Amino acid sequence: MYVKENVLNVLNQLSVWLSFQLSIIFFIGIPITLLIWSIKRRNKAVNKLLSIYWKVSLLFFISLFLLIGKFNYALLITNISLILITISVWFWNDINDELREYDLSYSLTTTTKVWRWSITFVSLNFLIQSLKNFTCVSFINSGACEIWLQPSTNFYIIIKNLFNFFFGANFTQPVAKFLGLFALLIYTLGLIQWSMIKLPKNGRNSCFSENERN
């Protein structure tokens, strides 16, 4: 019984670690590549989609600061960010219509389509992993939730070194928590403003064609 619990614990840790590694690839690496690619190809639809994606995905990076700061609801914020990211890449009717006009031979849009499905599955997997550790969603500081804090350690080291290099100060977990909560406040206000002003006006139209003409 003890061996079985250890095996399950190791598998759970491996699954959480893999979820974060996939997040780095599909939420950072591939979008950067697609953005550069779309600018080079001058593809307005993909460029607009990636522009929206990066604005929405800021919440994911905010959640990493909250994980570093061991904010109890950090994992909840992470899952909300992944849900918003997934919605943001599928939401826009004009972009969807534009992407459908390209066939499989056009590699940029084909890769973009594959990427959209990939982050959908990665987000779903992340949500499932969170539900397996449900108490961590509202109480990240419990001993059983340590596996969710470990992947943010490397990010913490990078930010700490950069913070010390640019500002000559020590970047601590309380500082990370404060910055994360402050950024979360600004992000929430921006999201509310968009929901009340731009969403009723434009609906599911990203206006990528209009923006290009202006």
63-85: per-residue pLDDT in tens? 989 988 889 999 999 999 999 99
101 has pLDDT over 80: yes
DSSP state of 139: -
110-129: per-residue pLDDT in tens? 999 999 999 999 999 888 88
Q: Where are the domains of the chain?
A: 2-213
Q: Note whether 71 and 182 are within 8 A (CB).
A: no
| Residues 6 or more apart in contact with residue 68 via CB below 8 angstroms | 152, 155, 156, 159, 173, 176, 177, 180
Q: Note whether 13 and 147 are within 8 A (CB).
A: yes
- Assign residue 207 a region (left: φ > 0; alpha: ψ between -120 and 50; beta: otherwise): left
Instruction: Return mean pLDDT, the chain.
Output: 85
| Alpha-helical regions (H) of the chain | 2-24, 30-41, 44-56, 58-68, 74-90, 93-100, 107-132, 135-138, 146-149, 152-167, 173-193, 199-202, 208-213
Q: How far apart are CA 48 and CA 24, in angstroms?
A: 21
pLDDT grade, residue 109 (50/70/90)? very high
11 has pLDDT over 80: no
